[in-house]
């Protein structure tokens, strides 16, 4: 599959993210935030972008939400 002159089978998230940043006018803080999310997703799945499906994204998002709830509960218990 070809996406804007990039063969998806041979690409990693880095070049895709970089290409996205060049196509948008984003603040540096926004780019940093997006990179943080991409790193989180890369840590969750060993697949390259061409092999990512909707279910993989949903499983990752579910884990992110569960981790946030756990951290919030821990902070609440410690602070109160």
pLDDT at position 3 over 80: no
Could you give the percent of the chain with pLDDT greater than 70? Answer: 75
- How many helices and strands in the chain, by DSSP H and E? 3, 2
User: Can you give the pTM of this predicted structure?
Assistant: 0.68
User: 46 to each of 24, 40, 56, how far by Cα in Å?
Assistant: 27, 12, 11
Lowest mean pLDDT of 18-22, 27-31, 64-68, name the range.
64-68
Q: In this predicted structure, what is the pLDDT of residue 67?
A: 85
The CA distance from 22 to 15, in Å, is 11
Asked if 16 and 49 count as a contact pair (C-beta separation under 8 A), the reply is yes
Strand residues in 1-70 grouped as ranges (E): 2-3, 6-7
Asked if 63 and 44 count as a contact pair (C-beta separation under 8 A), the reply is yes
């Amino acid at each position: 599959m070809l996406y804007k002159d990039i063969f998806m089978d041979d690409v990693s998230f880095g070049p895709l993210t970089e290409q996205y940043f060049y196509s948008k006018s984003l603040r540096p803080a926004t780019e940093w935030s997006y990179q943080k999310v991409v790193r989180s997703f890369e840590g969750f799945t060993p697949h390259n972008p061409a092999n990512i499906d909707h279910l993989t994204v949903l499983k990752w998002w579910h884990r992110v939400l569960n981790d946030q709830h756990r951290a919030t509960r821990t902070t609440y218990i410690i602070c109160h």
